[in-house]
Structure 1
C-alpha cells in the first residue's frame, strides 16, 4: 500500500511539474518613449514565497550588468486579477510572499541602447536581448517558456529569433530558462535572406540573414554571397557544422546609425550591431566571422568554469584566452583563407598580435589565465574609478589570439599540422559531446595530436606562465622576417593630450617605459625637455628626436601643481612589422610555401 501511495504521489508531482509553465506577454503602447509593458505569468508553482528577479549577466558577457535599473512599476496579481503583495527585497529582486500557486507579474521595461547585450525599443524597431528585458522566477529553470508579442502598428512585424514558433501569430516557445536567455530577438523591417547547406552526414541546415539596414537588394545579395562563402570556410576548420537545434542558424544584424557597435554569439544565432555594412574593407564581415566561429568554440566547446551560465552574478573563466582569443585569431584567419583580406593586410593583423604579446605589461607579467579572470571587470563592465589596466591587464581576445598564432606555427613547423587539427580534436572530444573542458583536459587534447612533452612545455610556459615567445624563429620557417616597424624611433612612452595650453600625460605610463621609470604618471603636466619648453605633442617629439637611444634627458613637469624635475633614459620603439622574404630578396623555399599554403593560402 505504501508503494502504491508513493507511486501516486510521484505521479501527481510529475503531472504538476509538467503543467508548470512560464508565459510572457509583451506589448509596446509607449514605444515612442522606449517603453514596453511586460507580463510574466507563472502557473502551478510551489506554494511557497515566489522570488522573481532580473539578470545581472548575459550570455557571451562575463561581467555584471545592472539590467534591473530599467525595470519599474512592478506589480503582482492572482488568477482572478486581484492585486497581491510583492516586496522588493533587493535592487533587482522581488518576492511574492503568499499566493495560491498562480502569480502574474507586470512591469514597465525601458530600453534605449540597442547592441549585443542591451535593449532598444522604438515603434519601428524592437531589439531584445533577453537578460536585459525579462524578469524570471527562481527555481523554475527547466520550466517551458512561452512568449507572445503585440507589435506596434508602425512596426513591419518581421521577427528574427532562435525561439521556436508555435503556429500562433507572434508567439514562440523555449524549453527552459537557459535556452530562452540565449535567444536574442529582433522585430522590425528586416531583410531576410535564406539558404541551405549540408553536413557530410547529409543532414541539411538552414541559414538566415535577418538584416535591418538601409541597403539595396543588390547590396544585400552581395553581402549574403560573401556570408555564404564565410560560412563554408568556417565549417572547413571543423569539417562539419554543429547540430543546430531545430536545424536553423540565424544571423540577426542591425546595421544602421541607431545601434551601438557590438557582436554577441548565441547557440543558434548571433546578434550583430554596427553602423556600417558596406565599408571598403568589409570590416563588419570580420564581426560575422568571429561570432559565427563561436557556435563551435564557446557555445559547444565550452569551458567548465562557465557551465552552466549563472545569470545572477559575473561568470569568471580561466579559459577565455581560448574561447575568445582563439576565436579572435580564426575570425581574421578565415577572412584571409576566404580571400576577403589580402596577405599584406593579414600580416599587419599578425604583427599587431605580436606587438600585443611582446610589448604590453599585461602579457609580460601575467598569464593568459590571469587575463581571462579579468573579464569579470572589463567585459563591458562599468566602473567610475580609474584602474591600472595598462600595467596589469591585456585583453584576452588579443593575448589569446597571439597565443593561437604561436601554437599554429609550432604545429606547422614541428608536426606538419595547422591549428585546425587542435580545434578539430577539441570539437570531437568536447563540442560534439557537449562535455565541458578544463585546462588540463585541453593540454591532454593537445598531447593527443602532438606528444606529451610538447603539450606540457607549451602550457607550462605560455598558458600557466607568460614567457616570451620567439616569433622571429617561428615566422622565419614560413618566410617572414620580423623587423622593427620604426627603426631608430625614440620613445618616452607616454600618451598625451592638450588642455588649456597644457601638455598632459593622458594615460597610465607603462612598466618598463622611460616615463614610468622616471616617475611620470597620468595627469602630470610636461613643461620642458632639457630646458626647452614643450606645450604640444610635436614639440615633445622634436625635443626627444635630438637624442639617441640610451641618452638621458632632463624633464621638468608638474605633479598636482607642484613643479618637479626628473631624468629619463630614452629607448627605441620596440614595435615590429612582418615582411615577406621576397621583399628583401631572400629565398622562399618549397617548405615555406607549403606552410603558407596550408596556413592561410598566400
Structure 2
C-alpha cells in the first residue's frame, strides 16, 4: 500500500511539474515578408500569468511608448473565441479573460521608426537596409508575466533569408530559439535578411557579427580582422574569456554593423552592440566607428565581468575602457603611434578640457556621465593613464594597470560581488608603492584638473598644455625605461616584452 501511494505521489508530482512548465511557457512566431518588409507579423501563444500585457520601457518621446508602432492587436482563447483587450497607459493592455485559459495573441509591428528623431539614434531602435531589417527586442515583443522563463521564438522567413539573434538555437529547427527570460527577450538585437554573418568562437563564448548592408559586406575581411585582433588582444590581456555575473549569464553576443547615409553612431543594449557607419565616411568617422566597437567589446570584461558597486566608479569603468580601446586599436595596427597620440589629445583631452563640469563637478559623479562625457569618460581615461604611468615608472615597468585589471577580473569574474572606489585606491597605491589618497581626493573625488602632461613625460614624451590644447610628441632621446613605459602606453603586453 505504501509503495502504491509513493508511486501515485511521484506521478502526481511529475504531472504537477509539467503543468507548471506548460503554464510558464510562452512562444512567439515572427513572420517577415520580403515584399512588405516594413511589417512584422507576430503570433504569441501562452497562458497568462497575470492580466497585463506590456512592452519594455522606452520610446518615452511617444505617449504610447513602443506601442505606437503596434497595429491590429487581437486575442482569442483556446476555442477561438475573442478575448477583450483594453489598452492602458504605458504600452500596456489589460486582458479581460480568466487567467487559466490559454490565449493566442496576434499583432503587427510597423517599422516606421526611421520616420522619427530618437535621442539615442536609430541604431538602438529599428530600421531597414538593402539587406533586410533590424529590430531591437523591445520594439518587437509584447510580454506577459514579469518573471517568465520558458520562452521560445520562431521566425518564418522568406526564401534565402536568415536571422541573427543572441539566443540559443534549437538545433532541430534552424530559425527557432530558446530565450532565458524577458530581459534577454527585450535586450536582443535581431537582424533578418540576406545579410552576412560572421561567427568567432573562443572556448565556449561566441561573438556573432551581422553585416547589414552591401557596403559593409564589401569590407567583410577588414571587419573580421579587426574583430579577431581586438578580441584576442583583450583575452590575452585579461587572461581569459568574459566571466559575467551568475545573475546575468551569457555565452553569446551579437554585433550588428550597417552603413547609414549621414551618421556614425553606436548603441549597446544588454550584451549586444549596434553600429552605424556613415557611407563614404572620412578617416575620423571610421576611427570613431572602430572605437565604439572596440570600446563596447572591452565592457564584456570591465563592466560585465567586474563592476563598480556604485556610480562613483563609472569613471573607472568607462575611462579605463577608453584607454584599453586605444591600446587595442594600436596593437592591431589600426592606429599608429602618431594617430594614437593625436586621438588622445585632439579628441579625449579636448572633450575633457571643454566639459563645462570641469572644475565644479567630480569625475566620481558617475550619474552625470551622459551629460558630462568629457569629464567622466575622458577624465576617467586620463586618470587611468596617469596611474598607469605612475605605476610603471615606480616599478621599472614591472607592474602596470594591466595587473590591476587582471586582479579585478580574477577576483570578481563569475561572482555577484562588486569593487569599491576605496578598493581601487588601495590597489593603485599597492601597485606603485605610493599612497594615492591625495590623487583620488584631488582628481577623482575632487574637482581639480589632472596634470596629464606631467604624467606623460614619464613615458618619454614631450607634453604640454597650450591654450587648452594638449600637445604631445616623442622625445628625441629617451631612456630605456621611458621607452618601455611608452610601449606599455601604446598597449604592449608583458608577454611581448
TM-score tier by shorter-chain length is 0.7 to 0.9
Q: Distance in 2 between matches of 1:105 and 1:260?
A: 38
Q: TM-score, normalised by structure 2?
A: 0.81
After superposition, the C-alpha distances for 1:559-594 in whole angstroms (9 at most, x for unaligned) are: xxxxxxxxxxxxxx3223212222xxxx32122111
Q: CA deviation at 1:83?
A: 1.6
Q: CA deviation at 1:373?
A: 0.9
After superposition, the C-alpha distances for 1:429-478 in whole angstroms (9 at most, x for unaligned) are: 22333534444454455456456942x44443333222222212211111
Name the structure 2 match of 1:297.
302
With over 3 angstroms needed to count, the CA separation of the structure-2 counterparts of 1:593 and 1:240, relative to structure 1, is: same
With over 3 angstroms needed to count, the CA separation of the structure-2 counterparts of 1:14 and 1:366, relative to structure 1, is: farther
Q: CA deviation at 1:374?
A: 3.0
After superposition, the C-alpha distances for 1:486-516 in whole angstroms (9 at most, x for unaligned) are: xxxxxxxxxxxxxxxxxxxxxxxxxxxxxxx
With over 3 angstroms needed to count, the CA separation of the structure-2 counterparts of 1:169 and 1:340, relative to structure 1, is: closer
With over 3 angstroms needed to count, the CA separation of the structure-2 counterparts of 1:13 and 1:420, relative to structure 1, is: farther
Residues 91-490 of structure 1: matches in 2 within 5 Å?
91-101=90-100, 102-111=102-111, 112-113=113-114, 115-121=122-128, 124-141=131-148, 143-152=149-158, 156-166=160-170, 167-197=172-202, 203=203, 205-215=205-215, 219-242=219-242, 248-257=252-261, 261-264=265-268, 266-267=270-271, 269-276=272-279, 280=283, 282-283=286-287, 284-304=289-309, 317-351=311-345, 352-370=347-365, 372-374=366-368, 378=370, 394=374, 396-415=376-395, 416=397, 417-443=399-425, 445-446=427-428, 449=431, 453-454=435-436, 456-485=437-466
Q: CA deviation at 1:300?
A: 2.6
Q: Which runs of 5+ in 2 are unaligned?
A: 115-120, 493-497
1:588 aligned to 2:482?
no
Q: Distance in 2 between matches of 1:14 and 1:285?
A: 49
Q: Distance in 2 between matches of 1:445 and 1:6?
A: 57
Report if aligned partners of 1:412, 1:595 keep a CA contact under 8 Å in 2: yes
Report if aligned partners of 1:325, 1:400 keep a CA contact under 8 Å in 2: yes
Q: Distance in 2 between matches of 1:446 and 1:193?
A: 39
Instruction: Report which of the two has the higher share of helix.
Output: 2
Q: CA deviation at 1:243?
A: 5.4
Report if aligned partners of 1:34, 1:122 keep a CA contact under 8 Å in 2: no
Q: Distance in 2 between matches of 1:65 and 1:597?
A: 54
Q: What secondary structure sits across from 2:377 in the alignment? A: helix
Q: CA deviation at 1:130?
A: 0.9
Q: Distance in 1 between matches of 2:462 and 2:420?
A: 36
Q: Which runs of 5+ in 1 are unaligned?
A: 59-63, 198-202, 306-316, 379-388, 486-572
Q: CA deviation at 1:172?
A: 1.0
Q: What secondary structure sits across from 1:295 in the alignment? A: coil
Report if aligned partners of 1:297, 1:323 keep a CA contact under 8 Å in 2: yes
Q: What secondary structure sits across from 1:369 in the alignment? A: coil
With over 3 angstroms needed to count, the CA separation of the structure-2 counterparts of 1:191 and 1:301, relative to structure 1, is: same
With over 3 angstroms needed to count, the CA separation of the structure-2 counterparts of 1:359 and 1:271, relative to structure 1, is: closer
Q: Distance in 1 between matches of 2:263 and 2:156?
A: 23
